Amino acid sequence: MTDNNNNNDSNRINILIDGDVIAYEAAFIAQYPVEWEDDLWTLHADMGRAKDYIHERITELEERLGAKSTTIAFSDRANFRRKLNPMYKSNRRSSFKPIILKACREWMMDTYNSECWPNLEADDVLSILATERPNRLDTRIIVSIDKDFHGVPGRWYNFRKDEYHYPSEEEADKFHLLQAVMGDHTDGYSGVPGYGLKTAQKYLEKNGYTWEAVSQLYAKKELPESEALMNAWMARLLRKDDYNIKQKEITYLWMPTSYQPADKRKYSQAVHSVTGKLGEEDTTLFPHAPFTPLPNASSKEPKTTALTTG
């Protein structure tokens, strides 16, 4: 951790940086093509230049935001959303990545205070760190360019646009339902056909930002509620109560507050496929346990109580 040693926690600003973005930027600007002869080109990269860029970028962000400490988050190679939905970000798998991207990432993890948690994307790690212990004295600021942080209560800074955002819990929950309706084609999941940002906003403002309104719209388009819930899982970044930081495992998946236990049971197999936990009744229902990728999985059945307004 970059720590500038301030003993007054009430004035302490901790910035939480999306390391995936910084590493990609550094790796991209550090590479260049070389023409050796007619029709023969190779691609080279200067790791020293990449390191300089990373150091300068992080120092700039720390100074701009008055940071006393810095944590950088990275995505794990495994991804719980792809375990639920194989199409999640599938359009990105074949894209050509900068040749020293992996080296930049490894160097950053060795050099800075970094976090990379099993089955999570960097965005989930940042969201969990930003929402844990709401009574804490320090101020935590997410630093990222990802619009998904409109769905996380707290503070975040878009360094590419030089914009500050302060979504409340209510605003974050509304944004989550908005994304469940409109989907996110760049992330590989569709919402309700024909509903983009403006039409989704208009519908929810008229009918209410509730899960009932979302599921009714899916039903109107002859889409099952299971698809609506899947898109809601794709859209929502994990928050503090969804993840056990000590054990490094997912404990809950979001469920609408309107769901009764019987409703939640319909989706228990999907839930347990990423939480890695099966209770006795579930073992009877699903004799072949679903994929359990997470470490320290126990046999205790997780609670799937709702965490947000639905």
Flag whether pLDDT at 305 surpasses 80: no
Helices (H) and strands (E) in the chain, counts: 12, 13
If you average pLDDT over residues 190-211, what whole number do you get?
A: 95
Nearest in space to 81 (alpha carbons), one of 197, 195, 189, 215? 189
By the 10 Å C-beta count (0-12 exposed, 13-18 middle, 19+ buried), 289 is classed as middle
- Displacement of CA 24 from its chain's centroid (Å): 17
Higher pLDDT, 23 or 138: 23
- 221 is written with which tokens? 């388009």
Q: Sorting pLDDT into bands at 50, 70 and 90, what band is 213?
A: very high
Radius of gyration of the chain (CA): 21
pLDDT given at position 298? 33
Give the C-alpha separation, 254 to 127, whole Å.
14
CA distances (Å), 256 to each of 27, 42, 167, 272, 277, in order? Answer: 41, 52, 20, 17, 20
- Per-residue pLDDT tens for 2-50? 444 444 555 789 999 999 999 999 999 999 999 998 889 999 999 999 9
In this predicted model, which residue has the larger pLDDT, 51 or 84? 51
- For domain 2-167, the CATH class is alpha beta
By percentage, how much of the chain surpasses pLDDT 70?
85
Higher model confidence: residue 78 or residue 73?
73
Coil vs helix vs strand at 115: strand
| 174 has pLDDT over 70 | yes
Question: Residue 203 pLDDT more than 60?
Answer: yes
What pLDDT is attached to residue 276?
60
Predicted confidence (pLDDT) at residue 291 exceeds the cutoff of 50:
no
Look at residue 69 and tell me whether its pLDDT is greater than 90. yes
Amino acid at 30: A
CA terminus-to-terminus distance, the chain: 37
Q: Which residue has the higher pLDDT, 284 or 30?
A: 30
Residue ranges, comma separated, of all CATH 3.40.50.1010 domains in the chain are 2-167
Is the pLDDT at 117 greater than 90? The verdict is yes
- The whole model's pTM is what? 0.83
Residue 277: predicted pLDDT: 53
Strands 13-18 and 163-165: unpaired
Question: Residue range 97-102: average pLDDT?
Answer: 94
Type of residue at 142: I
Q: How confident is the model at residue 134 (pLDDT cuts 50, 70, 90)?
A: low
Tokens 């930002």, located at residue: 209
Note the pLDDT tens digit of each residue in 252-282.
889 998 888 888 888 887 887 787 654 444 4
Instruction: Output the average pLDDT for the chain.
Output: 84
Q: What is the pLDDT of residue 249?
A: 85
pLDDT of residue 113: 97
